[in-house]
Amino acid sequence: MSRGLPGAKVVPISNNPWGLTPAQARVMTAICETGCQKLAADALGLSASTVEYHVAIAARAMGERTRLGKYLAWDRWLRSGSRAPARHLERPAAVAR
């Protein structure tokens, strides 16, 4: 039996710009598709704490400060279609004063 979201996008793991693992990529995609971590956990057949763990590790890899920021960055990358490293999603360098 296959677990996951019906009609979920295929995530090209090896080409994501943050180097997320397959599990982290599946969790991030499920959250973007369902709208929340609990529904993503249910859809993937995982516990809420496992989803939270993958999100925390992914957040460190992505360098985003907020939950919304990381979900938006992931969703934008998924929707970009090119699957090339998303340079436009990287945080701009701090401006020297």
pTM value surpassing 0.75: no
C-alpha count within 13 angstroms, C-beta hemisphere, residue 90: 9
Question: What's the rounded Cα separation, in Å, for the pair 18 and 58?
Answer: 8
Give Cα separations from 55 to 1, 2, 20, 34 (angstroms). Answer: 25, 22, 10, 14
- Please write the tens of the pLDDT for every residue from 19-54: 899 999 999 999 999 999 999 999 999 999 999 999
Question: What's the rounded Cα separation, in Å, for the pair 62 and 93?
Answer: 15
Q: In this structure, how many other beta carbons lie within 10 angstroms of the beta carbon of residue 96?
A: 4
pLDDT value of residue 67:
84
Average confidence score pLDDT of the chain: 78
